[in-house]
């Protein structure tokens, strides 16, 4: 495999990496504070230039970039990205103006799925799903060895299927009880707030409210705090609902959980697995491994580099 450049663009951070055979050889990164399109393009160009160097380093043969939002894969235009507030932002065209290399742009979560499937925990699986449990929930589906793109590049938006359509939390997308609203880090925080009135002596809410984050709740649950455990159990119920739905749709060999919350590791996996089994009805039980993802924050850049190497998220957009 030749070296390619993988770029992971997020709402607060951009990282460009030189990747060879799924291994990051060099990286450059920048924080993103201004979401104006031209400013973000400048940061992306900067990090790519600093990682490829000025002829000193062996730069890559193509650029792959994963971005939040829905992407027109043929042009690399971001059709819409709620994270950035962009509509029809011509990211691919701007990068082609700056670099004399092939440029491919795809959704960041689909890129991460491609990375985990090619070089991470999904290696060798034909049917694989990645979920990133962070502030929101991103995802991607590999079906019979191929990343699902869908009609409009919207396949894999697993975060926005509803798991509690009538009694759930409001989702940023406008619906109620989306998987993302219930089972992301933000979802865990909302569960903790929702059950707080039942725990008037809770130490969780007696501190500074800005310190009440999903990590603090998870750690308190692990330590046996009753308020945190009540929130955690609700969280796990909703996570299990979503995972069981995914099994009903895709019947994958493996679902990998990545993103910040997946650092809960066995504490999460041991709690969620039996609930998923219970909720798995028509698909055969015990056929889907639920595991922690392997590549961590590097999955997106590695997957973007795979996209660059292949000439697209799948071979379909070449035709
Ligand atoms: Zn939603």
Calculate how far, in angstroms, residue 137's C-alpha sits from the geometric centre of ligand 1: 9
Let me know: does 187 contact 238? Beta carbons within 8 Å.
yes
pLDDT of residue 319: 39
Let me know: does 183 contact 134? Beta carbons within 8 Å.
no
Let me know: does 138 contact 159? Beta carbons within 8 Å.
yes
DSSP structure string for 266-302: HHHHHHHHHHHHHH--SSPTT--EEEE-SSGGGHHHH
Calculate how far, in angstroms, residue 215's C-alpha sits from the geometric centre of ligand 1: 22
Per-residue pLDDT for 164 more than 90?
Answer: yes
Using one digit for the tens of pLDDT, what is the confidence trace for 96-152?
Answer: 999 999 999 999 999 999 999 999 999 999 999 999 999 899 999 999 999 999 999
Calculate how far, in angstroms, residue 108's C-alpha sits from the geometric centre of ligand 1: 17
The residues near 54 (Cβ < 8 Å, ≥ 6 apart) are none
Calculate how far, in angstroms, residue 102's C-alpha sits from the geometric centre of ligand 1: 34
Residue 118 burial (C-beta neighbours within 10 Å; 0-12, 13-18, 19+): buried
Calculate how far, in angstroms, residue 191's C-alpha sits from the geometric centre of ligand 1: 16
Q: Please compute the mean of the pLDDT values over residues 34-46 and round it to a whole number.
A: 97
Q: Which residues pair with 31 in a beta bridge?
A: 13
Residue 203 burial (C-beta neighbours within 10 Å; 0-12, 13-18, 19+): exposed
Residue 277, token pair as written in the block: 């089994």
Q: How many C-beta neighbours within 10 Å does residue 319 have?
A: 5
- Averaged pLDDT of the chain: 93
Per-residue pLDDT for 232 more than 50?
Answer: yes
82 — pLDDT class (breaks 50, 70, 90): confident
Which domains does the chain carry? 4-113+298-318 (3.30.420.40), 124-294 (3.30.420.40)
Q: Please compute the mean of the pLDDT values over residues 170-176 and round it to a whole number.
A: 93
Calculate how far, in angstroms, residue 107's C-alpha sits from the geometric centre of ligand 1: 17
């Amino acid at each position: 495999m030749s070296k390619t450049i993988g770029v992971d663009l997020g709402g607060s951070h951009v990282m460009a990496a030189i990747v060879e055979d799924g291994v990051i050889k060099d990286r450059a990164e920048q924080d993103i504070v201004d979401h104006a399109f031209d400013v973000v393009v400048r940061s992306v160009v900067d990090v790519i230039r600093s990682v490829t160097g000025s002829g000193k380093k062996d730069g890559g043969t193509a650029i792959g970039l994963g971005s939040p939002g829905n992407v027109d894969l043929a042009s690399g235009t971001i059709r819409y990205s709620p994270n950035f507030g962009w509509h029809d932002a011509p990211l691919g065209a701007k990068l082609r103006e700056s670099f004399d290399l092939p440029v491919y742009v795809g959704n960041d979560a689909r890129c991460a799925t491609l990375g985990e499937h090619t070089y991470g925990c999904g290696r060798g699986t034909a049917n694989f799903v990645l979920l990133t449990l962070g502030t929101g929930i991103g995802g991607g589906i590999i079906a019979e060895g191929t990343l699902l793109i869908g009609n409009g590049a919207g396949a894999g938006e697993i975060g926005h299927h509803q798991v509690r359509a009538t009694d759930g939390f409001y989702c940023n997308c406008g619906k109620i009880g989306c998987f993302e609203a219930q089972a992301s880090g933000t979802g865990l925080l909302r569960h903790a707030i929702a059950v707080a009135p039942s725990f008037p002596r809770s130490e969780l809410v007696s501190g500074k409210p800005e310190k009440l984050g999903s990590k603090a709740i998870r750690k308190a649950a692990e330590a046996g705090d009753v308020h945190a455990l009540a929130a955690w159990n609700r969280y796990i119920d909703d996570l299990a609902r979503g995972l069981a739905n995914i099994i009903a749709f895709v019947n994958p060999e493996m679902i990998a959980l990545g993103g910040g919350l997946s650092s809960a590791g066995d504490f999460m996996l041991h709690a969620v697995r039996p609930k998923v089994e219970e909720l798995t009805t028509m698909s055969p039980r015990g056929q889907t491994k639920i595991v922690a993802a392997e590549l961590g924050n590097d999955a997106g850049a590695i997957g973007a580099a795979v996209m660059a190497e292949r000439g697209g998220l799948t071979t379909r957009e070449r035709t």
